[in-house]
Chain A
């Protein structure tokens, strides 16, 4: 396998969970047989998105909240690509939540990895949709009044065909989830507990270590069971909650060609004649 490092030294804070997610992604790519050029990564804007400079595969650093639609367009136009969207909790559950909700209905074959650090890292630590109630930040000095959203439950109810959660403190486990997610035919969500050592002093490595446990033996084909497990609060399960075989969007669209290889010039004589 090709060297996956650009050689640019990662600019994350020492100890940031993003390092582990980065290495888990590289490991996962190494564990699969796809050639390096088959991968296409899109990135959101945030600390997570800086990965675009470190991972040496085809990539597209998009706008804040928009790694999904760019990934969807790319996948629909060239379905031979292994498309992976790297995003943040602010990015995909805040600014870009509409895209998150709709890709689940579509089941486009791509993988979304959310660096869920429960803060806006890059803009210096404001609350996000997944911050705990009461979370104090510069934009909520008295603590946030809003309830956090639960991305795993949302995805299970939203129709996602692969729903998993990893923890940056367990990169080997996370790598295996990424492999499963990329191999899954259809939309895969991998939400990752990612400690932000600089701005989130509540959800720390220590805090997660005390709470997380690995799912084992759960019935991943039962949506209701998955939903129930996803709502657990005291202990936080990681692993695969739900997985289902279903037709992908691409398999069902009328046009069944890989568009990028198509010749450009199109004869439209018939079309024009139909207007006479």
Chain B
């Protein structure tokens, strides 16, 4: 099992915790290390407690872990809140002029006057976080050059003076620790031999995937945890020739995306549960008019406004069933940042191939966490069926064996048709004929009957005395738990569902048959995937580990439960 060192920074909201966390994470990924950077923050702009923790290792880390080995406390609250997470001999870095910390036997206190050093070197107390970052690198005996490079990049374009102040304050923090606490610390990280890694949030991975897939139109409305995706797409608008529209509401966002998709532009929208509620009628419109549409659905704790900045996986059954009426839909459930990238490309291809909405399910935990990826390969674009101008006898909704009818586009010569939210005939005109209605429903539903979408993966040994089951962001913690179990001689495998609609009945039945215990791990109250599995296969999952307090799973929790279940 690879060793993981975890660094954490905490302080009041509004004090740049997220930026500091992202800089630290990038300094690690630049050094060829794997990182998982997880943040917690309340739905407030000022006040309240923020934290960012980065789990760093030479091998892949897919989640935050316990314990914390280095804690940077920008206020007293941070120490009080996170003391319980510290490992033996963990270092606690704090500013003694600002924060009084009582003696903590078993831990290493590292008083570093952040504010004083910042003022002395840069003339600005605002630079305190840089001092703390520099001090962290010194405590971990890591490479200060990497940190300074990242800071330099961060402030690129803001002028030499700004860059100098930021780097010098970081360096001063580093020197202070090296001088005053030489060789005192247990936890270290070291540059790896491998080249710099890619470090992305889930939102950025979806955005990059969308651009790679040729997405040209993105409309959205801000809602945590998907606002980051809106911001990312907007930042790339010029470079990649996209139209990014912050619409007046989610109803408009989805309908705009449908209008754009209808003209042939690959289109996408994104939201969280509350916004998705408003999009539901539009979802049915895309289904009925056979419009290719990609929706990224970033879950958070609900219902209603819920816990806006905390994670949950409680919208699976909602998304599977959203909208009145019946139409085919594809629901993908990528499990980490890398899978988010490729699933998004796939979502665009599938939407166009089957002319139906594709929903990418993710959640706050992977949307906003930073995670490393070794490399991103180039991707395939699969275009759907289309006709050229003046196609004789063209019918947009022609009955075909596969149910898929070639698309035409407004602006083309000839090929006139309408897309219709009312039931329609092959040309798109409204009809209430019983026969046509039946044939059209069958045509639409037929599209996914033979769809081949790689929809699940079995990790670990083919046969194991216990099988873990999960979907989406729990992948990282489950895989980490498997490693921990293996190191203690407990064999387990893991069924990861990556596409939940259409549901791969045969594959899942084959994997889950037999009497061994099965433990499903879900961030919700009722075990929604367990219901879906039972609905499709008749198989009842024997054990459920459920969590719905807004916090993601830690591998230790899964390990513990799996051991309990295996012992039964």
Tell me the A residues contacting B by CB distance below 8 Å.
6, 8, 35-38, 40, 42, 45, 50, 52-53, 56-63, 66, 68-78, 80-81, 98-99, 101-102, 253-255, 257, 259-260, 262-266, 268, 271-272, 275-276
Segment touching A, from B184-192, B197-205, B311-319: B197-205
Q: Interface 1/0s, chain B 227-244, versus A by CB < 8 A?
A: 000000000111111110
User: Are the CB atoms of A73 and B257 closer together than 8 Å?
Assistant: yes
- Bound together, the chains give a CA A146 to CA B43 distance in angstroms of 38
A85, chain B: closest CB distance, angstroms = 10
Contact residue among B196, B247, B383, B416 (Cβ-Cβ distance under 8 Å from A264): B383
Q: Is the interface of B mostly helix, strand, loop or mixed?
A: mixed
- From residue B153, how far is it (CB to closest CB) to chain A in Å? 9
Is the CB of B355 closer than 8 A to any CB of chain A? Answer: no
Q: Is the CB of A102 within 8 A of B266?
A: no
Residues of B within 8 A of A8 (CB): 429
Residue of A nearest to B341 (CB): A272
B85 proximity list for chain A (CB < 8 A): none
The docked-state distance in angstroms from the alpha carbon of A52 to that of B427 is: 12
Contact for A50 among B238, B259, B260, B430, CB less than 8 A: B430
Specify which of B198, B236, B415, B419 is in contact with A59 (CB 8 Å cutoff). B419
- 3 A-B pairs with least C-beta separation: A73-B259, A264-B214, A73-B256
| Alpha-carbon gap, A150 to B368, bound state (A) | 46
User: A152 to chain B: closest CB distance in Å?
Assistant: 21
Do the beta carbons of A37 and B412 come within 8 Å of each other? yes
Min CB distance B275 to A, Å, is 14
Task: Report yes or no: A80 in contact with B411, Cβ–Cβ below 8 A.
Answer: yes
- B residues 360-415 near A (Cβ < 8 Å) are 376, 381, 383, 409-415
Whether the pair A253, B243 counts as a contact (CB closer than 8 A) is yes
- Flag whether B255 is at the interface (Cβ < 8 A): yes
Structural contact, B430 and A53, CB atoms closer than 8 A = yes
Contact A70-B259, Cβ < 8 Å, known A52-B430, A265-B214, A272-B208 = yes
Q: B252 at the A/B interface (Cβ < 8 Å)?
A: yes
Instruction: Tell me which of B196, B240, B282, B429 contacts A63 (CB under 8 A).
Output: B282
CB-based contact A74/B263 at 8 Å: yes
Q: Which residues of B are in contact with A by a Cβ distance under 8 Å?
A: 29-30, 196-200, 204, 208, 211-214, 216-217, 219, 236-243, 245, 247-249, 251-253, 255-267, 281-282, 285, 289, 376, 381, 383, 409-422, 428-430
Which A residues are in CB contact (< 8 Å) with B420? 52, 60-61
State how many angstroms separate the Cβ of B218 from the closest Cβ of chain A: 11
Interface centre among A35, A59, A77 (most CB of B within 10 A): A77
Residue of B nearest to A60 (CB): B419
If A60-B419, A275-B204 are given as contacts, then 5 extra A-B residue pairs at C-beta distance below 8 Å, sorted by A number, are A76-B217, A255-B238, A255-B242, A259-B241, A263-B214
Chain A residues within 8 Å of B418, by CB: 52-53, 58-61
Q: Closest chain B residue to A250 by CB distance? A: B243
Interchain CB contact (< 8 A) of B249 among A60, A75, A81, A98: A98
B196 touches A276 (CB 8 A): yes
Given A40-B410, A60-B289, A81-B410, A70:B199 Cβ within 8 A: no
Task: Tell me which of B263, B414, B415 contacts A78 (CB under 8 A).
Answer: B263
Identify 14 residue pairs between A and B in the complex whose beta-carbon atoms are under 8 Å apart, listed by A's number: A8-B429, A37-B412, A72-B245, A73-B267, A78-B263, A78-B409, A260-B264, A260-B265, A265-B214, A266-B240, A268-B212, A272-B208, A272-B376, A275-B199
CB distance from A37 to the nearest CB of B (A): 5
Are A77 and B260 in touch, CB under 8 angstroms?
A: yes
Which of B237, B257, B414, B421 has a CB less than 8 Å from the CB of A254? B237
Known: A37-B412, A66-B282, A266-B240. A77 touches B430 (CB 8 A): no
Q: Is the Cβ of B281 less than 8 Å from the Cβ of A63? A: yes
Residues from chain B with Cβ under 8 Å of A57 in the complex:
416
Q: How far is the CA of A80 from the CA of B245 in the complex (A)?
A: 19
Residues of B with C-beta under 8 A to A70: 255-256, 258-259, 262
Bound complex: CA A65 to CA B508 (Å): 42
CB distance A257 to B241 under 8 Å?
yes
B281 to chain A: which residues have CB within 8 Å? 63
A74 touches B376 (CB 8 A): no
**Interface contact A76-B260, CB-CB below 8 Å:** yes
Asked whether, in the complex, the Cβ of A78 is within 8 Å of the Cβ of B264, the reply is: yes
Residue of B nearest to A270 (CB): B239
- Interface residue from B242, B260, B289, B416 paired with A58 (Cβ < 8 Å): B416
Distance of A46 Cα from B268 Cα, bound (Å): 28
Shortest beta-carbon distance, A231 to chain B, in Å? 27
Inter-chain CA distance A42–B421, complex, in Å, is 11
Which residues from B are CB-within-8-Å of A36?
416
- Give the residues in chain A near B261, CB-CB below 8 Å: 73, 77
Q: Which residues of B contact A99 (CB under 8 A)?
A: 248, 252
In the complex, the answer to whether A276 meets B197 with C-beta atoms within 8 Å is yes
Measured CA separation A26–B334 after assembly (Å): 50
Query: Is B248 in contact with A98, judged by CB distance below 8 angstroms?
Result: yes
* Choice from A58, A71, A262, A275 contacting B200 with Cβ under 8 Å: A275
CB within 8 Å for A6 and B260 given contacts A259-B243, A266-B211: no
Q: Which residue of B199, B252, B414 has the most chain A CB atoms within 10 A of its CB atom?
A: B252
Residues of B within 8 A of A254 (CB): 237-238
